[in-house]
């Protein structure tokens, strides 16, 4: 798949022009969080489950060498062939070799983002094989010559009318109406059933690999993946090394999170665990089964400060809750994985040079981190990528100069307050007549779309300090008249005197330097990445520095 992440802004601009698709995205952005929240509430202990699965996934990644070895051993014992692919080309070539060994011409393929990542379909097609996507959404976009716009609902960007036209053009089935959605589903079922029955090889993905027994877990609603896994004589499971979980019960725990986060269901219709080829007494099933386990830079991620990204369970919840994804859709991201998770995975799996626009496609609203069932601190990782972008000088020199100036100024709070005070006062004077600006230097990105409101003359800090001074003066006055002072108020507390106190703010906060901000850059900001090797869970060398990340951390 040709990557166009570097033109994200242009892609997004184009996507915003299509009002119909934008309206559909808006609807999905309202609807999908509702069903996810309802499923979460129904479950009852979602946060407890989320933390449990997070701990298990962290433990697995910390000991991936052990669990991957165990999985391989059990899978071989179950009668599988196990292959390792370091990159996309190797995975494609292994799959093609297997197909050619069996003189296969027809491949029935289940939904697999990993094979989207490697571009398997095109590779097999170039070798003369007929590959048919069997997940309805994937089938629709394959027929349309498009790529998925969402990792769970790949064709949700298309309207029913578009799909109807597509089916009428692609299926040579004579005159018909296809008026209802169920008619289109029925037609795809009929066309694909024939392909299932004739395919020599089935290719599927895996939602988890179970180390203790060598089973792979496949989660679908349509049952297409199961048809791929059961009808053809050869089955190839293409997945990545980070999908391993220790035990079957860890896979089921993860499943509870996955289905509720992805589709708001308590359980998918088909959750299947496959161990290997047909047994002697079996009447159906593949005669030969293969696992192709892809690395494709995941071991680099494992050794880096971005390790937490490997805990992603591919549910799509972060996409469904992201305002940028809702506005631009998945295609704007220009590669396989869109949304917040894609904005992190794409630079890590391809290169930051090609995709540095993606980590900037974030409002830092934090919704993705709130809903992520794997509890991945997505906004933190996006910010770290922006930091890497700056360090690697991938952003424009003007932007970097601005960042340096801002960083320097932020380290000198007195000067910062003085400069912002002057700036706000100047803008107030210049804009007070109209009340807003239609143009501002270096802010055309803002003013091209909307007016910039003229400031009211004082910065927040000025106003807050004035309020504090007035409070203190009132307090001193009341303390002086009170006889005898039974409860002397601490200066600035306001509690004993019954004065108003801003909730959650210490009175001395704006006036004294914060001891947690010693006026330096965070540790490790000048260091390179990757020095965390061998110390799972720590981020010693990366931009997130030496302090452990905390959800309450005030630098988020």
Partner 1 sequence: MTDSSRSRVFANVRQACRGAGEDTIAQELEALGTAPTADLPAADIHTAFLANVLKNQGSVDCVANRSGAVKALADYLYRHFRSHRLVAGNDPHLAAMPWREAGVLPRFGSVEPGEPVALSYALLGVAEIGGIVTLTGKANPAANNLLSEHHIVLVESTRLVRDMEAAWECIERESAKTGRSRGVNFIAGPSSTADIEGKLVYGAHGPRNWHVILMGDVPANALEEAHALAGR
Identified binder of partner 1 from the candidate list 52, 198, 462, 522, rule CB under 8 A? 52
* Residue span binding partner 1 (CB under 8 A) among the ranges 65-73, 366-374, 458-466, 499-507: 65-73
Render the burial of 264-276: b for 16+ CB within 10 Å, e for the rest: beeebeebbbbbb
Binding map of partner 1 across residues 176-195, x = CB under 8 A, - = no contact: -----xx-xxx-xx--xx--
Size of the site for partner 1 (CB under 8 A): 107
Minimum Å gap between C-beta 284 and partner 1 is 5
* Residue span binding partner 1 (CB under 8 A) among the ranges 2-10, 115-123, 155-163, 472-480: 155-163
* Residue span binding partner 1 (CB under 8 A) among the ranges 253-261, 316-324, 465-473, 513-521: 253-261
* Residue span binding partner 1 (CB under 8 A) among the ranges 215-223, 377-385, 419-427, 546-554: 215-223
- Of 532, 49, 328, which Cα lies nearest the Cα of 340? 328
| Residue 142 is a binding residue for partner 1 (CB under 8 A) | no
Secondary element (H or E) of residue 217: strand 216-220
Cα 245–chain centre separation: 20
| Residue 502 is a binding residue for partner 1 (CB under 8 A) | no
Structure tokens at 461: 């800090």
Instruction: Say if strands 244-245 and 234-240 run parallel, antiparallel, or are unpaired.
Output: unpaired
Identified binder of partner 1 from the candidate list 23, 34, 38, 160, rule CB under 8 A? 160
Minimum Å gap between C-beta 367 and partner 1 is 20
- Scanning residues 86 to 125, which ones bind partner 1 (CB under 8 A)? 86, 90, 93-94
How many angstroms separate the Cα of 216 from the Cα of each of 16, 34, 404? 40, 31, 49
- Of 365, 318, 370, which Cα lies nearest the Cα of 344? 318
Minimum Å gap between C-beta 332 and partner 1 is 20
- Of 497, 500, 481, which Cα lies nearest the Cα of 489? 497
| Residue 276 is a binding residue for partner 1 (CB under 8 A) | yes
Minimum Å gap between C-beta 64 and partner 1 is 5
Structure tokens at 463: 């106003």
| Residue 230 is a binding residue for partner 1 (CB under 8 A) | yes
Binding map of partner 1 across residues 195-214, x = CB under 8 A, - = no contact: -xx---------------xx
* Residue span binding partner 1 (CB under 8 A) among the ranges 122-130, 156-164, 332-340, 540-548: 156-164
Structure tokens at 110: 């289940």
Cα 136–chain centre separation: 23
| Residue 215 is a binding residue for partner 1 (CB under 8 A) | yes
| Residue 318 is a binding residue for partner 1 (CB under 8 A) | no
For 274, the 3-state DSSP assignment is strand
- Scanning residues 297 to 316, which ones bind partner 1 (CB under 8 A)? 299-300, 302-303, 307
Sign of CA dihedral 417, 423, 429, 433: negative
Angle in degrees, CA 324, 328, 332, rounded to 5 = 110
Structure tokens at 132: 């048919």
- Scanning residues 342 to 371, which ones bind partner 1 (CB under 8 A)? none
| Residue 135 is a binding residue for partner 1 (CB under 8 A) | yes
Minimum Å gap between C-beta 98 and partner 1 is 11
Q: What is the DSSP letter of 18?
A: -
Identified binder of partner 1 from the candidate list 5, 78, 92, 207, rule CB under 8 A? 78
Which lies closer to partner 1 via its Cβ, residue 78 or residue 343?
A: 78
- Of 243, 237, 249, 250, which Cα lies nearest the Cα of 276? 237
Under a CB-based contact definition with an 8 Å cutoff, are residues 361 and 12 in contact? yes
Residue 248's CB is within 10 A of a number of other CB atoms, namely: 16
Which lies closer to partner 1 via its Cβ, residue 293 or residue 507?
A: 293
Which lies closer to partner 1 via its Cβ, residue 51 or residue 553?
A: 51
Render the burial of 152-190: b for 16+ CB within 10 Å, e for the rest: bbbbbbbeeeebbebbbeebeeeeeebeeeeebeebbee
What span, in angstroms and rounded, lies between the C-alpha atoms of 224 and 269? 11
- Scanning residues 379 to 398, which ones bind partner 1 (CB under 8 A)? none
| Residue 68 is a binding residue for partner 1 (CB under 8 A) | yes
What span, in angstroms and rounded, lies between the C-alpha atoms of 417 and 422? 9
| Residue 293 is a binding residue for partner 1 (CB under 8 A) | yes
| Residue 133 is a binding residue for partner 1 (CB under 8 A) | no
| Residue 62 is a binding residue for partner 1 (CB under 8 A) | yes
Which lies closer to partner 1 via its Cβ, residue 222 or residue 380?
A: 222
Minimum Å gap between C-beta 546 and partner 1 is 18
Under a CB-based contact definition with an 8 Å cutoff, are residues 225 and 269 in contact? no
* Residue span binding partner 1 (CB under 8 A) among the ranges 53-61, 312-320, 342-350, 367-375: 53-61
DSSP string, 99-119: HHHTT--EEEE---HHHHHHT
| Residue 534 is a binding residue for partner 1 (CB under 8 A) | yes
| Residue 531 is a binding residue for partner 1 (CB under 8 A) | no
């Amino acid at each position: 798949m040709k990557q166009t992440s570097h033109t994200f802004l242009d892609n997004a601009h184009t996507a915003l022009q299509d009002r119909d698709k934008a309206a559909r995205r808006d609807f999905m952005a309202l609807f999908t969080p509702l069903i996810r929240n309802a499923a979460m509430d129904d479950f009852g202990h979602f946060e407890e489950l989320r933390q449990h699965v997070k701990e298990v996934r962290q433990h697995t990644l910390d000991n991936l060498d052990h669990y991957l070895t165990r999985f391989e051993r059990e899978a071989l014992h179950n009668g599988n062939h196990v292959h390792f692919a370091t990159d996309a080309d190797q995975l494609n070539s292994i799959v093609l070799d297997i197909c050619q060994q069996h003189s296969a011409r027809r491949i029935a393929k289940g939904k697999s983002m990993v094979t989207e990542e490697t571009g398997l379909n095109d590779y097999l097609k170039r070798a003369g094989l007929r590959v048919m996507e069997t997940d309805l959404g994937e089938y629709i976009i394959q027929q349309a010559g498009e790529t998925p716009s969402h990792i769970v609902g790949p064709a949700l960007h298309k309207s029913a009318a578009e799909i109807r036209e597509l089916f009428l053009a692609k299926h040579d089935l004579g005159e018909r109406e296809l008026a209802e959605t169920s008619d289109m589903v029925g037609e795809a079922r009929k066309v694909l059933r024939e392909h299932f029955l004739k395919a020599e090889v089935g290719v599927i993905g895996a939602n988890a690999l179970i180390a203790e027994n060598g089973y792979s877990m496949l989660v679908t609603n349509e049952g297409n993946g199961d048809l791929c896994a059961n009808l053809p004589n050869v089955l190839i499971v293409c997945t990545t090394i980070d999908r391993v979980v220790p035990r079957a019960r860890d896979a089921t725990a993860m499943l509870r999170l996955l289905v509720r986060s992805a589709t708001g269901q308590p359980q998918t219709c088909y959750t299947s665990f496959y161990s290997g080829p047909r047994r002697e007494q079996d009447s159906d099933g593949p005669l030969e089964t293969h696992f192709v386990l892809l690395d494709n830079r995941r071991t680099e991620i494992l050794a880096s400060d971005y390790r937490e990204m490997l805990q992603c369970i591919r549910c799509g919840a972060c996409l469904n809750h992201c305002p940028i994804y809702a506005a631009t859709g998945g295609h704007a991201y220009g590669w396989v994985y869109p949304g917040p998770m894609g904005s992190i995975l794409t630079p890590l799996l391809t290169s930051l040079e090609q995709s540095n626009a993606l980590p900037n496609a974030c409002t830092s609203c934090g919704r993705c981190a709130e809903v992520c069932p794997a509890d991945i601190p997505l906004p933190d990782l996006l910010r770290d990528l922006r930091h890497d972008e700056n360090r690697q000088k991938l952003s424009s020199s003007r932007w970097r100069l601005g960042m340096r100036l801002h960083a320097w100024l932020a380290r000198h709070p007195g000067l910062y307050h003085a400069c912002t005070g002057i700036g706000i006062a100047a803008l107030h004077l210049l804009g007070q007549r109209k009340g807003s600006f239609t143009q501002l230097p270096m802010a055309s990105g803002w003013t091209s779309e909307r007016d910039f409101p003229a400031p009211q003359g004082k910065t927040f800090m000025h106003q807050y300090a004035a309020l504090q001074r007035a409070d203190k003066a009132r307090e001193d006055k009341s303390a002086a008249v009170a006889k005898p002072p039974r409860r002397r108020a601490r200066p600035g507390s306001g509690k004993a005197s019954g004065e108003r106190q801003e909730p959650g703010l210490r009175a001395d906060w704006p006036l004294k330097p914060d001891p947690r901000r010693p006026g330096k850059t965070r540790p490790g900001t000048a260091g390179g990445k990757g020095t965390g090797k061998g110390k799972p869970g720590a981020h010693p060398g990366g931009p997130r520095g030496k302090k452990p990340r905390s959800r309450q951390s005030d630098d988020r």
